[in-house]
Amino acid sequence: MDEIKKIQHLFKLKEVFRTACEMGDRPESTAEHTYSVLILAQHFLPKISQQLDKHKIMQCY
């Protein structure tokens, strides 16, 4: 997938709403969820003793 298509795919995530989780009075979008998970991963990966491939984890999303 070329870079433009990747970016277009990421922006379309804003339109997908998750049905299992709500943020206050509205459903959380897939983009919001993905962003939150990546922020948490960046925060916690340096703090754990197990050696994990940060790039591979970020590629999951």
- The tens digit of pLDDT for each residue in 12-22 reads 877 776 666 66
pTM exceeds 0.85 = no
pLDDT at position 36, please?
A: 85
Alpha carbon distance 21, 5 (integer Å): 28
Q: Cβ(26)–Cβ(18) under 8 Å? A: no
Summarised one tens digit per residue, pLDDT across range 19-50 is 666 667 777 777 788 888 888 888 888 888 88
Residue 1 has pLDDT above 70, yes or no: no
